[in-house]
Chains A and B, each alone.
Chain A
Amino acid sequence: MWTRILRRLFFVTALAILVWGGYELVQRQRGLAKAIEFSRFELWDKARTELGKYLQLHPGDTQARFMMAELWINDDELLSNESLPRALSHLQRIPDSSTLGAKARTYEAKLLFLVSHQPVAAERLLRKAIQLEENRLEAHLLLCKVMEMTGRHDYCEPIFWKIYELSDPADRAVRLRDWYMSQFFPLTANDYLDRQMGFTDATTGPLPTEVIRYVRFRETEPDAPLGRAALARWTRRSGKPAEALSLLDVDKASPDNELRDAFYVATWMDCLMDLGEYAAAAERLQKWPGAREGFDYWRLKAMILDEVDEDYEAALEAYDLALATWPGPTDWRLMHRRIGCLVRSGKQDAAAQSRAEAEEVTGLMKDEVHNRLRYVLGFLDNPEFLREVGDFYRKLGRSREAEAWTREAARRIANTLE
């Protein structure tokens, strides 16, 4: 009899467990749906609890992982140091090979840049995202912002044209306007991001926003050369090359880190040139990291060939390559260096012609020109205004932008006719 009682008890218990387990399973299975429901009402904590249950059952569900990361980030009641590591840990569990791999890397990058102020880590993830999904617009957009906000706006051109290509035609005028701002007003082009990231806090005193930003980047990624180079570049442009050089901390420059960074090396070389250390600058050019191309490379090579080697013909070739690469077409200072080189090589007529061209470019950089352009760019539905912008680029010899603006103008005229 006791045996029977025990058997029944066991059976009832097992059944209860099964029923409870089944109930739990169903509940957890419904966790995803519940989480979605709670998130609609911004009940982030409950949504996370439900989604957590679901993820226990489906740890490899990348959609759910992504959603969990969003639930952490969207919760305004949490401090970023509470939510960010959790969100990142979920994103990091989404493998590159997943269909959400590129999206997850982009989102990680966004968090690392906007919240953690880690541009180098963000850039690495964005490049990975683009490698995984070449046409991921968001990744290109954010990469461009990372470049601009780390003082590398001059390096953005290829990224911009990819953004333009991937953008919906209806958005292209706005993209072009952003590009104009990046080209001619790089320090204020991202005011909204500076505010969002807390760099334009009223308590920051008289320091320019970009300096506050660069100092922060240097703090968050002390081992990365970028923050130091950005700060040094700004300092050098403020007329303090010796101080800029000390900011670069070149004594500690590592062949595997700083010396592999063209932006860092270019800033270093500029400081050396300013301080008359031409031999050291020339030596550094010989060890230029990465591809031997781009504005900074050609510019510095031209200056070394011109000032150190006095090989004027080769210098002129390098000047031409630099001036053809953005921001070369606007760099009237470099144009004047080239003019000096022409004079020294006895080409007075060519120098006179180049002087006139440089004068024209200098005129196009004047405040009154850009005050007008900024005004007309407030009316992207006005085809006449858009043509005006196109004309400006045409005068600058920037046919690609000129054509793009002209197309936008034509599109608006066509829309009006329809």
Chain B
Amino acid sequence: MEAELPGFLSGPAKKDRPGILPRFTSVASDARIDFTFFSDIVPDRYLLPEIMGGGAAWFDFDVDGWLDLYLMNGCPLELANAEQPEPATSSFLNRLFRNRGDGRFAEVCRAASCSQDAVTGDRYGQGVAVGDYNADGFPDLYLANYGPNVLLCNNGDGTFSDVTATAQVTDELWSTSPLWMDLNADGQLDLYVVNYLLVTRENTTVCKYDGVLGYCGPGSYEAAPDRVFISQGDGSFVESAEEFGLGTSGGKGLAIAALDFDNDLKAEIYVANDMMQNFLFTRSDADGTDPSNRSVRYTNVAIEAGCAVSGSGVNEASMGVACGDFDGDQLPDIFVTHYYSHKNTLYHNLGNLVFHDDSHRTRIAATSYETLGFGTVAFDYDRDRATDLFVANGHVLGPKHSPDAMPPQLLRNDGKGRFVDISEFSGPYFQKLWLGRGAAGGDYDNDGDLDLLVTHVGQPVALLRNDTPTARHWIGIDLSPPDRQVPLGGRVVVTAGGQSTTLPVVAGGSYLCHSDRRLLFGLGDHNETVTVEVYWPSGRLDAFSDVSIDCYWRVAEGQSPKRLVSSI
């Protein structure tokens, strides 16, 4: 039974594409995910990390076909420079929740040794990236901290080991969003670590807004340079940002996404910087040379591409990023969340690495002036073949300022690339005020629609199960079998009823979070088999016809697709 959206969608949008009333059920307690990020907010201290929140990752750590959940945690910030650290308590540990496959999770972190060493209190959790860096079939975790970062190697037996020192991937700057990708095209996963600001307890300043004290923003601090760790193939890494042209200074980064924007089967890297120009790194390979000898170079083309600043040249306070084809032209666009009383921005991809700030026409701007956005997820919540958006919102100045907490948003794409805020119809969670930060999308119940995990400051995480009642169909494609790297740069085209939908393989995105890497296609009312084309980064095209729908398929390069588990 499908419930129609009320008549607020006027004109052709309603006539052509009837909306389905969204339903997101908050099920964290039922699913036994009981976690509140330890922010260590101390009144009148105004130490910026304490209001930035923590990240989350959907990943299948035990390779059982069900998405598990990893949650970053904070710790006492004052201990960062203390000589005598206090003993850790369980409230500072990161958490790993194993998906039991029945809609419930079991906390397994202690057994799995999955948390970083919180005893020293100098690792205040921020973002997390998932990648199988040692290609053993089990996904590993890179934890970005305010304080030294940590690499946790998945031992494949349900436990993790801290291999930071041997891997030489320590970064003591304030890291936010890390990303695993094969930067030098040698078949090994490398790391791009987005860093934010050079903030310490000592240089922390307090700002006044309308005469009221609050946290100072990025304008008050120097940028922390991003780090790039290149895999040496033996489990160790070498920092090589400058060498690869990725040492662009001046970013105050909070988010990152990597995908192929120009259909050349090579992933570009988009870094969202707070009040600074965003970066768009594009890869160039020296002709005729062996890619393993580091002939790869990256160039920041964001300014020329038109996605460094807003369409009117303003450095925007970029917090989170989501990429998706919002206008159905088969090219991935970029959505970036921004500050309160400023618009969020949708950069429409015109092809050939040219973007146009289309925020106003698409009404993205109109939906965002009264919010301060952080994490964001691009997904087709109602399977109508149009990419919608979820945005977690919350202010950063502190509780003495209004507004502080904010409602999150579900923005429905009308199929013509214009968005309508349908939050008020989306469930009780959307009616409350939150200090929203991270947002990660994952189909944890394998039912063919994306569910959402949202982290907050000072409030428990929310697990929003997508219960949108729809008889529309779907197909899911998993391009990363356990023994293969994620084919970043590739894309999948699903054609149903003569209409094609393209989804690129994406790494990163949102804010501090890692989302489900499987590609979920809404098929609308199409109820027959579909054609699937997979464009691999190698240049190979695998095409499959008569693929049945309403299930997940695993596709490895050059092999026939295999049908995966059914839903809960």
Contact = CB atoms under 8 A, between A and B. Distances in A.
Interface of A: 206, 238-242, 273-276, 278, 307, 332-337, 339-340, 343-344, 348, 351-352, 355, 358, 362
Contact of A276 (B211, B311, B312, B360): B360
Query: Which 3 pairs show the lowest CB-CB distances between chains A and B?
Result: A239-B341, A336-B313, A333-B312
A274 B357 contact: no
A273 to B, nearest CB: 6
Interface string B412-445: 0000001000000000000000000000000000
B80 interface: no
B312 A239 contact: no
Given A275-B363, A278-B361, A343-B306, A334 B369 contact: no
A343 B369 CA distance: 27
19 contacts: A238-B341, A241-B369, A242-B369, A273-B360, A274-B360, A275-B365, A276-B362, A276-B363, A276-B366, A333-B312, A333-B313, A334-B312, A336-B310, A336-B312, A336-B313, A343-B354, A351-B304, A355-B303, A358-B313
Contact of B360 (A307, A333, A336, A355): A307
Contacts of A335: 313
Nearest to B339: A239
Nearest to B369: A239
A358 B311 CA distance: 13
B369 A344 contact: no
Contacts of A333: 312-314
Given A239-B340, A351-B304, 13 more contacts: A239-B343, A240-B341, A241-B366, A241-B369, A274-B369, A276-B360, A276-B365, A276-B418, A307-B361, A335-B313, A336-B313, A352-B304, A358-B313
B210 interface: yes
B294 interface: no
Contacts of B357: 340
B313 A206 contact: no
Contacts of B341: 238-240
Most buried by B among A276, A340, A352, A362: A276
A82 B343 CA distance: 50
Nearest to A273: B360
B402 to A, nearest CB: 12
Contacts of B342: 239
Given A239-B341, A240-B341, A336 B362 contact: no
A344 B350 contact: yes
Contacts of B311: 336-337, 340
Contacts of A332: 313
A276 B358 CA distance: 10
A350 to B, nearest CB: 13
B356 interface: yes
B309 interface: yes
Contacts of B418: 276
Contacts of B211: 206
Contact of B312 (A241, A337, A348, A355): A337
Nearest to B366: A275
A307 B361 CA distance: 8
A389 B210 CA distance: 33
Nearest to A272: B360
A274 B367 CA distance: 10
Interface in B342-362: 342-343, 350, 354, 356-357, 360-362
A340 B356 CA distance: 7
B-side interface mostly: loop
Most buried by A among B309, B313, B354: B313
A51 to B, nearest CB: 51
Interface residues of B, number: 28
Interface string B275-317: 0000000000000000000000000000110100111111000
B67 to A, nearest CB: 36
A274 B366 contact: yes
A358 B303 CA distance: 13
A99 B306 CA distance: 61
Contacts of B310: 336
Contacts of A362: 313
Nearest to A348: B304
A170 to B, nearest CB: 41
A261 B338 CA distance: 34
A274 B357 CA distance: 12
A340 B306 contact: yes
Interface string B361-390: 111011001100000000000000000000
B313 A240 contact: no
Contacts of B363: 275-276
A276 B361 contact: yes
A360 to B, nearest CB: 13
A206 to B, nearest CB: 5
Nearest to B313: A336
Contacts of B356: 340, 343-344
A239 B340 CA distance: 8
B361 A206 contact: no
A224 B25 CA distance: 50
A206 B343 CA distance: 25
B412 to A, nearest CB: 14
A358 B309 CA distance: 13
Contacts of A238: 341
A307 B311 CA distance: 11
A307 B312 CA distance: 13
A336 B309 contact: yes
A332 B365 CA distance: 20
B313 A274 contact: no
Contacts of B343: 239, 274
Contacts of A339: 313
Contacts of B362: 276
B101 to A, nearest CB: 43
B354 A344 contact: yes
Contacts of B312: 333-334, 336-337
A412 to B, nearest CB: 38
B565 to A, nearest CB: 42
A348 B369 CA distance: 32
A334 B343 CA distance: 17
A336 B309 CA distance: 10
Contacts of A276: 360-363, 365-366, 418
Contacts of A242: 366, 369
B279 to A, nearest CB: 17
Contacts of B340: 239
Nearest to A240: B369
A334 B314 CA distance: 11
Contacts of A239: 340-343, 369
Nearest to A281: B360
Nearest to B363: A276
Contact of A206 (B210, B303, B306, B354): B210
Contacts of A343: 306, 354, 356
Nearest to B418: A276
Contacts of B303: 355
A339 B211 CA distance: 39
A92 to B, nearest CB: 44
A206 B212 CA distance: 11
A342 to B, nearest CB: 10
Contacts of B306: 340, 343
Nearest to A278: B361
Contacts of A358: 313
A336 B343 CA distance: 17
B168 to A, nearest CB: 39
A335 B311 CA distance: 10
Contacts of A352: 304
Interface in B305-334: 306, 309-314
Contacts of B314: 333
A244 to B, nearest CB: 10
Contacts of B361: 276, 278, 307
A165 to B, nearest CB: 35
A206 B210 CA distance: 7
Nearest to A237: B341
Nearest to A275: B366
